[in-house]
Amino acid sequence: MAEDRKIAFICSKGNLDMAYPALVMGWAALGNGIDVTIFFTFWGLDLINKKRVDHLEISPLGNTSMKMNLMGIPDPIGRLGIPNVVGMLPGMTAFATKLMNDKMKELGVPPVREYLQMLSDAGAKLYACKMSVDMMKLTKDDFIEGVEDIVTAGDFMDMTEGAQIIFI
């Protein structure tokens, strides 16, 4: 393994299922001695937003991979979908979110806030995207501890020179 390997993640989604890829891979990278930078942009800012990080959600609506068996309904054919008309019923997003959180807990996967704390404690550098922050009228005070700064796209390019970049 190269001594100076660096990986940068760009988190652009705020859905619960899209929060985990960077957290899992970032943690694995840190465990293997790889330098990690995470840049949160657009909806990805929800992951570091104090008021939202504990309330990330997943909706079955328009999600063709979310099948009935994930909702705990027996499905012998293995590909029984959830009709969008069911997914739009009130409470379905909360239900799907609870199921996913329960499954993560079963696997011993920590909640997003705790995961980000682990990454930060292990040396990952977390940054918020300036343009998105301005657009959403946020300030550094809106973010969880561990977020080092609000930076521009150009700053991100400078700080990730030589890094492998993963866009999520």
Q: Which residues bind another protein (CB under 8 A)?
A: 24, 27-28, 30-34, 107-110, 117-118, 121-123
Nearer to another protein, 18 or 45 (CB): 18
CB of 29 to another protein, least distance (A): 9
> Which H or E run includes 8?
strand 6-11
State the minimum distance, in angstroms, from the CB of residue 98 to another protein.
Answer: 20
C-beta closer to another protein: residue 30 or 45: 30
CA contacts within 13 A on the Cβ side of 59: 12
For another protein, the closer of residues 102 and 134 by Cβ is 102
Residue 55: Cβ-neighbour burial (10 angstroms; 0-12, 13-18, 19+):
exposed
Smallest gap from Cβ 160 to another protein, in A, equals: 19
In what helix (H) or strand (E) does residue 147 lie, and over which residues does it extend? strand 147-151
Question: Shortest approach of another protein to residue 129 CB, angstroms?
Answer: 26
124 vs 133 by CB, closer to another protein? 124
- Looking at residue 103, its amino acid is K
Residue whose CB is less far from another protein, 45 or 144: 144
Q: Which of 64, 102, 58, 97 is nearest to 82 (CA)?
A: 64
CB of 28 to another protein, least distance (A): 6
Q: Look at the chain and count its residues.
A: 168
- CA end-to-end span of the chain, whole Å? 24
**Helical pair 16-31 and 92-106, crossing angle rounded to 10 deg:** 20
